């Protein structure tokens, strides 16, 4: 079968308005086999769609994970400073469900991993400038189900509060600010974001509704569908949903893959504090 590349190359010229005008005036003649024209139209349409897609970043997280806190703050800085042109969505899930479904185990439950995690968190806290402190009671990281339901309630009923509440819960758990397992602790966390007592109680009550519980399960299942086995689980979409020839999502595990994620988007990585970069 003869190569279609010459015909395709000529046909691409007609994508430019100036060349279209020449063709209409009869000054540019391009003969393209029907099959080549069809292939080109399909390729050009796909290329146009991709050029129009703003990268989508989904952060799947559980406040049980201190590494998720580091990833969260980095993403918020890059968004707020406008360093990345991307849509960032916060998606609280239940890490316990991820572990059970995948057969994974929390690092703290394994002696060698627990020792490494303690040292690594101190190092990462210095690098990120984060106020991480060791948990007084390690069992607290296994008691975040109610907190994750609360975050899903916020995502549905008070999305403008989701970011602040997420940060408040992490600050209380990993910053030494208090408990997030009891109703009182969760209500105080809500009020820490500026909610009045009545609104905090209402959101907390909402977190116990069946549809909110179901939503948390659905978010957890979606993360599993995208390959999650831990947190933070970050997925990147850089193509249209209907592009059959490309994998819709790329996944990144941990808070130390932002350089690779940035490369995948074709955007800069300036460290965890882009505002301090001298580049």
**Confidence at 243, pLDDT banded by 50, 70, 90:** low
Q: Report cis status (omega within 30 of 0) of the bond before 74.
A: no
pLDDT score, position 5: 41
Q: Is the domain of 160 the same as that of 97?
A: yes
At 176-194, the pLDDT tens digits run 878 999 999 999 999 999 9
Q: Give the orientation angle of helix 95-102 with respect to helix 210-225, to 10 degrees.
A: 50
Q: Give yes or no for a contact between 31 and 62, defined as CB atoms under 8 angstroms apart.
A: no
Residues 75 and 211 in one domain: yes
Are residues 124 and 42 part of one domain? no
Asked, for residue 110, whether it belongs to a domain, the answer is yes
Query: Is residue 110 very low, low, confident or very high in pLDDT (cuts 50, 70, 90)?
Result: confident
pLDDT tens by residue, 138-164:
888 899 999 999 999 999 999 999 999
Looking at residue 6, its pLDDT comes to: 42
d(CA 13, CA 267): 29
227 within a domain of the structure (yes/no): yes
User: What is the model's pLDDT at position 12?
Assistant: 40
Residues forming beta bridges with residue 57, ordered by sequence position: 88, 236
- Is residue 8 scored above 50 in pLDDT? no
pLDDT score recorded for residue 49? 46
Judged by DSSP in three states, 91 sits in strand
Pairwise CA distance, residues 187 & 189, whole Å = 5
171 belongs to a structural domain: yes
**What does the pLDDT read at residue 107?**
84
Q: How many whole angstroms separate alpha carbon 253 and alpha carbon 59?
A: 10
Instruction: Give pLDDT tens digits for 77-99.
Output: 999 999 999 999 999 999 999 99
Please check whether residue 279 lies inside any domain of the structure.
no
Same-domain check for residues 269 and 235: yes
Give the mean model confidence (pLDDT) for residues 39-54.
56
Q: Which long-range contacts (CB under 8 A, 24 or more apart) does 187-190 make?
A: 189/147, 189/150, 189/165, 190/150, 190/161, 190/165
**Together in a domain, 167 and 74:** yes
pLDDT in tens, 184-229: 999 999 999 999 999 999 999 999 999 999 999 999 999 999 999 9
3-state secondary structure of 111: helix
Mean pLDDT of 7-32: 48
Within this chain, do residues 181 and 62 fall inside the same structural domain, yes or no?
Answer: yes
Determine the structural domain holding residue 147 and report its residue range.
56-274
Same domain, 29 and 117: no
pLDDT band at 26 (very low <50, low <70, confident <90, very high): low
* Residue environment code for 10-29, b if the CB has 16+ CB neighbours within 10 A, otherwise e: bbeebeeeebeebeeeeeee
Residue ending a domain, among 52, 68, 85, is 52
Strand arrangement of the beta sheet that strand 56-61 belongs to: 87-92, 56-61, 233-237, 250-253
Determine the 3-state secondary structure of 81 from DSSP. coil
Q: How does residue 33 score in pLDDT terms, banded at 50, 70 and 90?
A: low
Confidence at residue 42, expressed as pLDDT on a 0 to 100 scale: 55
Q: Which of 53-67, 241-255, 262-276 has the lowest mean pLDDT?
A: 241-255
Rounded Cα gap, residues 120 and 128, in angstroms: 12
Q: Which residues pair with 91 in a beta bridge?
A: 60
For residue 43, the model assigns a pLDDT of 53
* Same domain (yes/no): 101, 218: yes
How far is it, in rounded angstroms, from Cα 156 to Cα 216?
Answer: 11
Token reading at 81: 């400073």
Cα–Cα distance, 176 to 256 (Å, whole number): 24
C-alpha triplet 167, 170, 172: angle, nearest 5°: 110
Give the count of domains, the chain. 2
Q: Contact at 8 Å (CB) between 166 and 150?
A: no
Which residues touch 145 (CB under 8 Å, ≥6 apart)? 94, 96
Nearest to 274 by CA among 24, 57, 75, 66: 75
């Amino acid at each position: 079968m003869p190569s279609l590349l010459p015909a395709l190359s000529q046909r691409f010229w007609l994508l430019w308005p100036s060349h279209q005008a020449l063709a209409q005036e009869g000054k540019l003649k391009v003969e393209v086999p029907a099959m080549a024209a069809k292939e080109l139209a399909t390729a050009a349409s796909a290329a146009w769609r991709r050029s129009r897609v703003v990268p989508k970043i989904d952060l799947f997280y559980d406040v049980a994970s201190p590494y998720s806190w580091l990833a969260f703050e980095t993403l918020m800085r890059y968004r707020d400073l406008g360093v990345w042109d991307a849509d960032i969505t916060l998606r609280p899930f239940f890490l316990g469900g991820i572990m059970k479904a995948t057969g994974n185990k929390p690092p703290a439950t394994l002696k060698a991993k627990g020792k490494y995690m303690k040292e690594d968190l101190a190092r990462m806290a210095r690098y990120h400038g984060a106020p991480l402190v060791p948990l007084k009671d390690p069992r607290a990281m296994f008691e975040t189900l109610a907190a994750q339901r609360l975050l899903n309630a916020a995502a549905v009923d008070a999305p403008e509060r989701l970011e602040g509440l997420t940060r408040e819960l992490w600050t209380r758990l990993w910053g030494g600010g208090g408990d997030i397992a009891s109703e009182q602790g969760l209500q105080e966390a809500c009020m820490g974001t500026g909610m009045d007592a009545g609104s905090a109680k209402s959101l907390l009550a909402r977190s116990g509704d069946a549809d909110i519980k179901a939503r948390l399960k659905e978010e957890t299942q979606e993360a599993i569908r995208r390959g999650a086995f831990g947190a933070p689980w970050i997925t990147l979409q850089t193509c249209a949903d209907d592009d059959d020839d490309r994998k819709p999502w790329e996944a990144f595990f941990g808070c130390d893959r932002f350089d690779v994620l940035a490369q995948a988007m074709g955007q800069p990585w300036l460290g965890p504090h882009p505002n301090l970069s001298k580049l």
